[in-house]
Amino acid sequence: MTGKAASSTDAVIVGAGAAGNLFAAHLAEAGKSVLVLEPGPAWTTGDLYSSLIWSRRLRWGGPAVESTGGHAFGAGFNNGWGIGGAALHHYGTWPRLMPSDFTMKSDHGKGLDWPLGYDDLRPYYDRIQEEVGVSGDAEAEVWRPAGAPYPLPPLQQFAQARLLSRGFTALGMKTAPSPMAILSQDYKGRPACVYDGWCDAGCPIGALANPLVTYHPRAVKACAKFVTGAHVTRVLPGRNPHEAAGVEYVDASGETRTALAKVVIMAASTIGNPAILLNSAADGWSGGAGNSSGLAGRYFMTHSIAAIYGFFDGEETENYLGVTGAQATNMDHYPKTALGGGAFGSLQWQLAPTMKPNDLLGVAMARADLFGPALTKFMDRAVHHLAVMFGFGEGLPVAENRVELSGRTGPGGGRTPRVVHTFAPESVKLWERAAELGLKVIKAGGASEPWANPMANAHMMGGTIMGRDPKSSVTDSYGRSHDIANLFIAGPGLYPTAGAMNPNFTNHALALRSAEHLLAHWPA
């Protein structure tokens, strides 16, 4: 296959998800020429049908990702496909990381430290929440680290949240409205949420801060160019091993093309970024681009989920109303050793996500073991009386958990990724203790027949971790490759520890910090 004539821009961005669009907007607004390459389609808000069946189009539709290990990661569910990426179907639950998340190694001798602290990131959290609109009650979140109050009051709560909160109150624990990147009031030309609970299918009215209504329009307005159907296969070496020339990609027609750029920004997801780096072996890049540490792909992390269910017969739980993320939160057990009993890591509760009757997070899947008439009977009861809360548990960073290349090939002959993941024993214990606690809480709230489902997982972090030492990390605190001066990596793949918080707020804060640093230190 022959390559078409190369294009050249100031920056080429690989991936049009949350971080890619934020970078594109800021760089283009600063006058840089920007090309964004996205393998999926060009969604518009008009494509976001209110149906969990149709929502599957928004999930990864590219070359297959293999997933294996003792606790295999749900790659298909978590990844995105097309402009907006995973943020197009994310739920907008936006807590900040805690200061303790940045210093785990120093504090406990476990895991890793970040090369920056909470105070370094705090101003970016504050600015992002003001830019995109976050709803919440900072005072009620007694656990919340220092920061500006939310620009919008909390979202409305429905019966499910009130019923579940009773259990926490009964045990002397606190709850607060969840901090959500969903508008409780009209804000900057976007309308407020109407609580129909279709966030998982994408929010077409733009109340939820998905990239189609936040940074993508800004990037387009500032003349960033987006090319869809473009599968990036590798980073191209420059004049020496410390320079990237651009990227190679296969376009929608199957042609191999080259995009040259002064700066390459990898924003192709926590799985896609290391896969492309590992596929980019060349002279001077024997283990792949930016991989002199041998850690590209290593320290892949996810959150365990303790899913706790119970019936509130006699009450209409209104579990079909609200938002897919959460209506309320509790973080009493966020300190790394708070649960005891051999558990290690942070825990965050999210109460009362919307449940539609079908789909993985829907009512029917709450009891996957039921079938036939027993399922029919369960459904009739559960759609009006079931309540659920999720405990998100931190997965410790483990080097053996990794994104590696499989034996299969994708567009352009590049090898496709395989994710290998097994929780550390302390993380498994954390999930067990969380499930025990959750059952105690929901019982205390008056739920009948409570149960905990088998361990699930969500969110993806690590794989291209940041750090101070080039021997033990892939990038610096701005996402700049230790090896390749004009190669930046963006996204939650940078996190050296996962915390227990949904990753997208921190993803935005880090991307803003990096984009501004890049513009202030633009390569000569």
Partner 1 sequence: MRSAIEGPDATRRTLLKSAAIGLFAFQLGGVDAMLSPAEARRRGARLKILSPAEAAQLEAFGDALVPGARKAGIAHYVDANLARPHSQSLLTARYLDVLPPHDAFYKTGLAALDGAAAAAFGKPFAKGTAAQTNPLIAAMLPGQITPWAGPPAPLFYLAVRSDAADLVYGTRAAFEQLNVPYMAHIEPPSDW
Residues at the site binding partner 1, with contacts judged by CB under 8 A: 40, 45-46, 48-54, 56-57, 59-62, 64-67, 72, 74-77, 81, 156, 158-159, 185, 191-198, 203-205, 316, 318, 320-321, 356-360, 362-365, 368-369, 371-373, 375-376, 379-380, 383-384
Supply the minimum distance, in Å, between the C-beta of residue 380 and partner 1: 7
Taking the complex as a whole, how short is the minimal distance between the CB of residue 167 and partner 1, in angstroms?
21
Handedness of CA 300, 79, 434, 116 (dihedral sign): positive
The residue among 73 and 125 lying less far from partner 1, judged by its C-beta, is: 73
Q: Tell me if 490 sits within 8 A of 514, measured CB to CB.
A: yes
Nearer to partner 1, 301 or 466 (CB): 301
Question: What is the smallest separation between the CB atom of 181 and partner 1, expressed in angstroms?
Answer: 17
Q: From the CB of 6, what's the least distance to partner 1, in Å?
A: 27
Nearer Cβ to partner 1, position 282 or 360? 360
Nearest residue to 305 via CA among 358, 364, 368, 347: 347
Q: How far is the CB of 416 from partner 1 (least distance, A)?
A: 10
CB of 523 to partner 1, least distance (A): 36
CA angle 473/479/483 to nearest 5° reads 55
Shortest reach from residue 15's CB to partner 1, in Å: 16
Query: Of 118 and 198, which has the nearer Cβ to partner 1?
Result: 198
Phi, psi of 223 (to 5 degrees): 75, 20
The phi, psi pair for 462, rounded to 5°, reads 80, -175
Identity (one letter) of the amino acid at 401? Answer: N
* Closest CB to partner 1 among residues 26, 459: 459
In whole angstroms, the minimum distance from the beta carbon of 413 to partner 1 comes to: 18
Least CB distance from residue 192 to partner 1, whole Å? Answer: 4
Rounded to 10°, the helix 504-520/118-132 angle is 100
Paired tokens of 184: 């409780």
Decide whether 118 or 378 has the Cβ nearer to partner 1. Answer: 378
Nearer to partner 1, 7 or 156 (CB): 156
Say how many Å lie between the first and final Cα of the chain, rounded. 34
Closer CB to partner 1, 63 or 117, in the complex: 63
Phi (first) and psi of residue 454, to 5 degrees: -55, 160
CB 187 within 8 A of CB 455: no
Which CB, 158 or 390, lies closer to partner 1? 158
**Cβ burial 54-83 (10 Å sphere, 16+ → b, else e):** ebbbbbbeebebbbebebebbbebbbbbbb
CA distance 9 to 217: 20
Give the nearer residue to partner 1 in terms of CB position, either 82 or 496. 82
Rounded to the nearest whole angstrom, what is the least distance from the CB of residue 193 to partner 1 in the complex? Answer: 7
In three-state form (DSSP H/G/I as H, E/B as E, the rest C), the secondary structure along 393-435 is ECCCCCCCCEEEEEEEECHHHCEEEEEECCCCHHHHHHHHHHH
Instruction: Residue 246: name the closest of 3, 54, 58 by CA.
Output: 3
The position carrying tokens 């001077």 is 284
Instruction: Please classify residue 222 by burial: count the beta carbons closer than 10 Å to its beta carbon, then call 0-12 exposed, 13-18 middle and 19+ buried.
Output: middle
Asked if 464 and 494 count as a contact pair (C-beta separation under 8 A), the reply is yes
